[in-house]
Homo-oligomer: A and B are copies of this chain.
């Protein structure tokens, strides 16, 4: 059905490096017939891990350097020209790969990808977007940390990018987009928020207005747009609360021998709960707005989680997310141009 697809995997970055990235990518390769992999890293590390894999479907491209998890983004761009991250992104730029996946340093990945690939026309800055579990399935949220300070222009662009991700990755037909605020009234929030609110109402985006943080999970919206500071705080707060609730559950279910018996009886329900809230199923944040598909895996991702990120890359590459974003952004720009003489 689908044309063959080649994916570049940065095999050296992240907390676990090649030991997780390579087996995870091979797991996806085994279940995706038309996929081909380019594994980027130091030959002596990655070659043994791909031994026995069909060479027509998986090849190694040598990269001698690795970007450290604490390395400054500008240093990675300037000095690490032969890093596994940089080489993987170069393969997207050259067209040898349709997308790349990395578990590396977020700032370095963003800066390198932006430097090498450039932006989709009409988009000023890349944003980090990911799906959150919600009552109706998923809510797409951005920006999760790339842009602490955002203008109204940026927020409008985020709404475009979030809409495309919700349609392309999650199959939502007319994604309902909300702008995160501390109240639903028009007068709430900063000037940037209020301007973006006014402008979004006049675009082809299915904009539903200001939403509060609880709506991320309620199923009332498909996309939540916010600046990278607020989005990152909300994301980390969710992660912290989920971890805290799960540790309290563990304590309560192991507090006595009788409780442990109860936990056994409740095991199917607890497994169901765990499955539905499984963070590894939500791994793979897209760096949207770039003129190429770049997926960031959590640095500490395990094999299953890294494989989720690889699958996100495949879907985005097949759907052509960057050109979809360009198309929707152009139609938003047209709508705003037509509107402004009358409204101004």
Residues of chain A whose beta carbon lies under 8 Å from any beta carbon of chain B: 133-135, 145, 148-149, 180, 182, 188-190, 212-218, 226, 228-230, 232-245, 247-249, 252-253, 255, 258-259, 261-270, 272-273, 276-277
Contact = CB atoms under 8 A, between A and B. Distances in A.
A233 B230 contact: yes
A233 B182 contact: yes
28 contacts: A133-B244, A135-B247, A148-B182, A182-B228, A190-B229, A212-B236, A213-B234, A213-B235, A214-B239, A214-B240, A216-B237, A216-B240, A217-B240, A218-B244, A229-B230, A233-B233, A238-B238, A241-B242, A245-B277, A248-B277, A252-B272, A252-B276, A253-B269, A262-B267, A262-B268, A263-B266, A263-B269, A265-B265
Nearest to A267: B262
Chain copies in the assembled complex: 2
Contact of A258 (B217, B239, B245, B268): B268
A242 B244 contact: no
Contacts of A253: 266, 269
A266 B133 CA distance: 25
Nearest to A238: B241
A233 B252 contact: no
A189 B229 contact: yes
Contacts of A188: 148
B268 A259 contact: yes
Given A247-B135, A252-B272, A265-B265, A237 B238 contact: yes
A242 B264 CA distance: 24
A233 B231 CA distance: 9
Contact of A265 (B217, B236, B262, B277): B262
A75 to B, nearest CB: 14
Contact of A217 (B229, B243, B261): B243
Given A148-B188, A190-B229, A255-B269, 7 more contacts: A213-B233, A213-B234, A214-B237, A237-B238, A241-B241, A252-B270, A261-B265
A237 B213 contact: yes
Which one of A214, A253, A258, A265 has the greatest number of beta carbons of chain B within 10 Å? A214
Contact of A262 (B134, B238, B259, B269): B269
Nearest to A271: B252
Contacts of A234: 213, 233-234, 237
A79 to B, nearest CB: 19
B215 A240 contact: yes
B262 A266 contact: yes
A258 B272 CA distance: 13
Contacts of A212: 232-233, 236
